[in-house]
Amino acid sequence: MLTKFETKSNRVKGLSFHSKRPWILASLHSGVIQLWDYRMGTLIDRFDEHDGPVRGVHFHKSQPLFVSGGDDYKIKVWNYKLHRCLFTLLGHLDYIRTVQFHHEYPWIVSASDDQTIRIWNWQSRTCISVLTGHNHYVMCALFHPKEDLVVSASLDQTVRVWDIGALRKKTVSPADDILRLGQMNTDFFGGVDAVVKYVLEGHDRGVNWASFHPTLPLIVSGADDRQVKIWRMNDTKAWEVDTLRGHVNNVSSVLFHARQDIIVSNSEDKSIRVWDATKRTGLQTFRREHDRFWILGCHPEMNLLAAGHDSGMIVFKLERERPAFSVSGDSLYYVKDRFLRFYEYSTQKETQIIPIRRPGSVSLNQGPRTLSYSPTENAVLICSEVDGGSYELYVVPKDNFSRGDTVQEAKRGVGGSAVFVARNRFAVLEKGTNQVLVKNLKNEIVKKSALPVATDAIFYAGTGNLLCRAEDRVVIFDLQQRMVLGDLQTSFIRYVVWSNDMENVALLSKHSIIIADKKLVHRCTLHETIRVKSGSWDDNGVFIYTTLTHIKYCLPNGDSGIIKTLDVPLYITKIYRNTIFCLDRDGKNRPIVIDSTEYIFKLSLLRKRYDHVMSMIRNSELCGQAMIAYLQQKGFPEVALHFVKDERTRFNLALESGNIQIAVASAKEIDEKDHWYRLGVEALRQGNAGIVEYAYQRTKNFERLSFLYLITGNLDKLSKMMKIAEVKNDVMGQFHNALYLGDVKERIKILENAGHLPLAYATAKTHGLTDLAEGLAAKLEDNVPSLPSGRSASLLMPPTPVLCGGDWPLLRVMKGIFEGGLDNVGAAAQEEYEDAADADWGEDLDIVDVENIQNGDISMVLEDEEAHEDNEEGGWDLEDLELPPDVETPKTTTASRSSVFVAPTAGMPVSQIWVQKSSLAAEHAAAGNFDTAMRLLSRQLGIKNFAPLKSSFIDLHIGSHTYLRAFSSAPVLSLAIERGWSESASPNVRAPPALVFNFSQLEEKLKAGYRATTTGKFTEALRLFLGILHTIPLVVVESRREVDEVKELIIIVKEYVLGLQMELKRRELKDDPVRQQELAAYFTHCNLQLPHLRLALMNAMTVCYKAGNLITASNFARRLLETNPTAENQIKTSRSVMQAAERNMKDSSQLNYDFRNPFVVCGATYVPIYRGQKDVLCPYCSSHFVLSQEGQLCTVCDLAAVGSDASGLLCSAAQIR
């Protein structure tokens, strides 16, 4: 059984497939009807108006309707588009068991526990016939798919077939009056619309279900006597043909499969059984553990079944429908109807070659699964599930190409999968031993190879190579050298598709596609919600694939899109230019012509083939929001501009691509305040003061306009702004403008007119205008404010502008490939500034200077020194010129303008390049990307506590940048410092960041730590060693040898940290002599340098001797002498201790210490973990811990979580290469 979809719900009593859409209705015992999309696995809708269980449900074949019948005696007809019940049919007097629409007439048939069957007209909403005759509950009633018959099953142990021909004749309105008269008589005196044609008796208990064969005169029924019976009928009688026994409880539903010669039944014995309808034998049984089955549903057109049980339902298929095929050059070999066939793409002709063996066994899914072809030997390998996986080898005779009638004896063998790996060699997977057998065409084993991973399928991967599929990965295995060439972690892979040049491979799983190269280096992954079915590579390196519903494409960077919608699933075999060749589920070859413009366009953008892009823009009909969004997302807003007619979208794209001319044109069309404001912001960013001014004028934004004139040093326009403020009676605006101009007298005048005499007096007095101050003092009389004396006041005077006059100088850049097409729009944009003077602006003021508002002109002036000299005084004076009428201001010609370009888009920041190119945490931290650095450390070393690393992160970031001040009003510039920079290096190639930590510093720290340990400064030594452990994650080295040295250093330092922590702990324990001895003893088992080991042994010996543990002390003395100490006092003391112990061989206290049994010390609890005991490790410093510490923070390195998963230290680019 191939389960396609499963739901969990209340007991399912009724099921119905939609004939066209991938939908299924499930009616539940709880009274709810659910509408599911079984392809997407989503619940689309639920209908819950029935009171009590709903036992019957059915979709209409063509209308958006379905009918349901329940235990509330109601039949309801629903419209699923309107999401509501249209009407209710009342008439039954007991539970309704089944309901069904007629395939042609507007009829519904219903079966009920009131022992009747009713036929209703759902258009007139009336009951048109009642079929009586059963004398117990009627469990089911169904129309015949073609004839005027109804079959019903009842608990009275009979199946009845009813003829409803008279009803049809009655409802099809008669043509002439005589017939109509007869019709009226029948209506008056009661005529019989439906008569019992046959009563089928044979079941010993109540019958639960009966259904017609879709084409043959057969009926199948299932009953409480646990039997399934097949009945045949002709025009005059019906009789029992056979009985199928096997169910061990009531059979609840049974039907003929629509497309295969089989019967499917389910039962309350928790099983579904599949029977061969011709041989009348059981084929297969599918069981559930706890759920009884109640109902079966069959898709009217597809190979799908559904079964409802106690806790939901399943949608399933009995057999795979994908044809086995193999493409070789211009031809396709595939299996159809138990024949091997050959299809030639160039001529589109197909030929039957040879018949292949029918599977002898009696179960399902035994057809060919895969096919492998060797073109030189004309040999075909066909694999199937027969005998748990086997293959057949056929050699196709050259002369037999046209006839295909003689059965050839195939060479057979058992194996999980088999593929050709060379012209006359094929590989067979032997799952039991996990090895590959290489065989020749005589089916003799030539070679055996054990596989590197537990493999469940093999695929071709180039001559002599296999792609082995494991549960969670794929590997490429070289059969000659017996080595792994590539390895990639994946979800479970179902199909493998190689490109024509064998450089790229697509790995297809159920819901994803992984693209990799021939060494299995990952390129991109694509996820699909609908199942992926097949795929093939086209000549451009684009992967074209099919899902259940679409043909789609995948570009090399992982972008994907839809090419075409499919009605039925297809399997792509080959792509030739714009034609996709597919096989459908019936084994027919179907060439499909597609429009590849969209993906070729995107591919050209991706590969920077801008000449192609331009020609496609000119010649094709590419458009639509999706394309515009794509171009915007990929950083080509200027290309998107070509497709867009909508002014708002044009405006947004123009702003994004920095194209001020088009933005002005669009803003003029839209003419909304918000758009003018955004235009002003962008123009200000580009330093295009003329357009900023124009935008502020259009929105009458006086405050911003004044400030613009202040920073561009345009004092004349500022004084005009002050007059405008005066006309508008805007006192605050007037005062601001006077302040910007530095006009103190005007400010005093404004304050005086506004009645602020004290402020006016204070302003005059502080600016030293004594005569004005005296006049104001006279007006103020006694209220003259006293100004503070002895303070050094600074006057409010406007600053000198940095850059006077017009626009900022722009870089001279050649136009991009896409700019040529924009000139026509640019020309229109220029005219926009022409009528800026007519802006609705105020009384008689004409502020805007039309002619000089041309973006980019100043750069030309800057090229010429004299011109620059002449303009030094006023910058670019944007003032109205009093010109004679016949003199025109010279314009820059378009030709001279065309080499000037809008500001180039900002490049990618160096820090971003560092992050993209590196997997080393130190380099991410240096780039300032602390978040990804922490994620990398967490993944590589299991680090969870980043507090000790915070200062190091900051040091790395600050240390990899230097900072320059340009001038006072400009921001500080930060520059990245690169590792190994030289003058000869290319400026476009970015080296990795310079790092403040290096390996040699750690070696110096290590030596300092050794010295501190020797002198007994344990706290200082511990600080130094922990410092090393906290720096190593952020160190980068060049070579593999240095990587090994770093890893070695971690182990050395970890031993010292653990030892010193125990020694410091021992010194704290004054009143616990036993624990003191234990910690001193454990310290001697840390891996220390020899001098330090001697000191530790000396220390332990002394502590134990003083405590009276002479045997333990003598053990330390012996170990000390074995190190050949040079210090005389150590030798002397050791010997004395040994002699004392020999005289008195005893330990006064029992220690948790057995020096004969090898152990490691737990880094948290300081207890020994003896060999053979389970422990957990710190993923970073590899310290050992008892099991209870799992998940806790490592107490040795204070960074990682004990026992967490980690991929290992990554501290060099060499490791990645």
**What would the pLDDT profile of 55-69 be if each residue is shown by its tens digit?**
999 999 999 999 999
How confident is the model over 760-784, as pLDDT tens digits?
A: 888 888 888 888 888 888 888 888 8
Adjacent-strand bridge partners of 824: none
pLDDT band at 866, cuts 50/70/90?
very low
DSSP-assigned letters across all residues of 105-131: SSEEEEEETTSEEEEEETTTTEEEEEE
pLDDT over 70 percentage in the chain? 87
Q: Which two tokens stand for residue 331?
A: 């031809």
> What is the model's pLDDT at position 623?
67
Q: Please answer whether residues 965 and 972 qualify as being in contact, where contact means their C-beta atoms are separated by less than 8 angstroms.
A: yes
Q: Which two tokens stand for residue 763?
A: 């302003």
pLDDT at 621 > cutoff 70: no
pLDDT at 613 > cutoff 60: yes
Average pLDDT over residues 720-724: 89
pLDDT at 909 > cutoff 90: no
Q: Round to whole Å and give the CA distance between 322 and 906.
A: 52
Q: How many other β-carbons are positioned within 10 Å of the β-carbon of residue 885? A: 5
H helix or E strand, kind and range, residue 861: helix 857-863
Query: Scanning the structure block, which residue is given the tokens 């809008």?
Result: 902
Least confident among 152-161, 867-876, 1009-1018, 1190-1199: 867-876
* 112 or 764, greater pLDDT: 112
> What is the model's pLDDT at position 54?
96
Q: Which two tokens stand for residue 882?
A: 């009093």
Intra-chain end-to-end CA distance of the chain, in Å: 46
Judged by DSSP in three states, 874 sits in coil
How confident is the model over 261-289, as pLDDT tens digits?
A: 899 999 999 999 999 988 889 988 999 99
**353 contacts: CB under 8 Å, gap ≥ 6:** 333, 339, 340, 341, 342, 396, 400, 401, 404
> What is the model's pLDDT at position 177?
53
Judged by DSSP in three states, 1213 sits in helix
CA–centroid distance for 859 within its chain: 48
> What is the model's pLDDT at position 887?
37
Least confident among 376-390, 535-549, 1076-1090: 376-390
Side-by-side strand order, sheet with 207-212: 207-212, 218-223, 227-233, 238-245
pLDDT at 209 > cutoff 90: yes
How confident is the model over 648-689, as pLDDT tens digits?
A: 888 888 888 888 888 998 898 888 989 898 998 888 888 888
pLDDT band at 410, cuts 50/70/90?
confident
Radius of gyration for the chain, computed over Cα atoms and rounded to the nearest angstrom:
45
pLDDT band at 1146, cuts 50/70/90?
confident
Q: Round to whole Å and give the CA distance between 749 and 763.
A: 10
pLDDT at 711 > cutoff 70: yes
Closest CA to 849 of 709, 743, 739: 709
Q: For Cα atoms 642, 644, 645, give the angle at the middle one, nearest 5 degrees.
A: 120
> What is the model's pLDDT at position 84?
93
pLDDT at 1167 > cutoff 70: yes
- Antiparallel, parallel or unpaired: β 271-276 and 493-498: unpaired
Q: Round to whole Å and give the CA distance between 950 and 931.
A: 12
How confident is the model over 651-661, as pLDDT tens digits?
A: 888 888 888 88
Mean pLDDT is highest, among 237-251, 631-645, 803-817, for: 237-251
Q: Round to whole Å and give the CA distance between 821 and 657.
A: 14
Q: For Cα atoms 742, 743, 744, give the angle at the middle one, nearest 5 degrees.
A: 100
Side-by-side strand order, sheet with 149-154: 138-143, 149-154, 158-163, 195-201
How confident is the model over 1104-1142, as pLDDT tens digits?
A: 998 888 889 999 999 999 998 888 888 999 999 998 888
DSSP-assigned letters across all residues of 960-1005: TEEEE---TTSPPEEEE-BTT--TTS-TTSPPPBP-S--HHHHHHH
Q: Please answer whether residues 803 and 686 qualify as being in contact, where contact means their C-beta atoms are separated by less than 8 angstroms.
A: no
Q: Please answer whether residues 160 and 200 qualify as being in contact, where contact means their C-beta atoms are separated by less than 8 angstroms.
A: yes
Q: Please answer whether residues 516 and 476 qualify as being in contact, where contact means their C-beta atoms are separated by less than 8 angstroms.
A: no
pLDDT band at 882, cuts 50/70/90?
very low
pLDDT at 109 > cutoff 80: yes
H helix or E strand, kind and range, residue 954: helix 950-959
Q: Round to whole Å and give the CA distance between 678 and 684.
A: 10
Which residue spans within 840-993 are E strands per DSSP? Answer: 961-964, 973-976
pLDDT at 398 > cutoff 50: yes
CA–centroid distance for 1203 within its chain: 29
Is the Cα torsion angle 1018, 1022, 1024, 1028 positive or negative in sign?
positive
Mean pLDDT of the chain: 84
> What is the model's pLDDT at position 160?
95
> What is the model's pLDDT at position 547?
92
H helical segments located in 100-242: 165-171, 177-189
> What is the model's pLDDT at position 859?
36
DSSP-assigned letters across all residues of 683-735: HHHHT-HHHHHHHHHHTT-HHHHHHHHHHHT-HHHHHHHHHHHHHTT-HHHHH
How confident is the model over 533-568, as pLDDT tens digits?
A: 999 999 888 999 999 889 999 998 888 989 989 888
Query: Scanning the structure block, which residue is given the tokens 């639920």?
Result: 46
pLDDT band at 297, cuts 50/70/90?
very high
Judged by DSSP in three states, 12 sits in strand
* 143 or 702, greater pLDDT: 143
How confident is the model over 935-988, as pLDDT tens digits?
A: 999 989 999 999 999 999 999 999 998 888 777 777 888 888 888 777 777 666
Closest CA to 298 of 91, 158, 145, 400: 145
Q: Round to whole Å and give the CA distance between 304 and 308.
A: 14
Average pLDDT over residues 825-849: 39
Q: Please answer whether residues 267 and 278 qualify as being in contact, where contact means their C-beta atoms are separated by less than 8 angstroms.
A: no
Side-by-side strand order, sheet with 331-336: 325-328, 331-336, 339-344, 349-355
**197 contacts: CB under 8 Å, gap ≥ 6:** 149, 161, 162, 163, 238
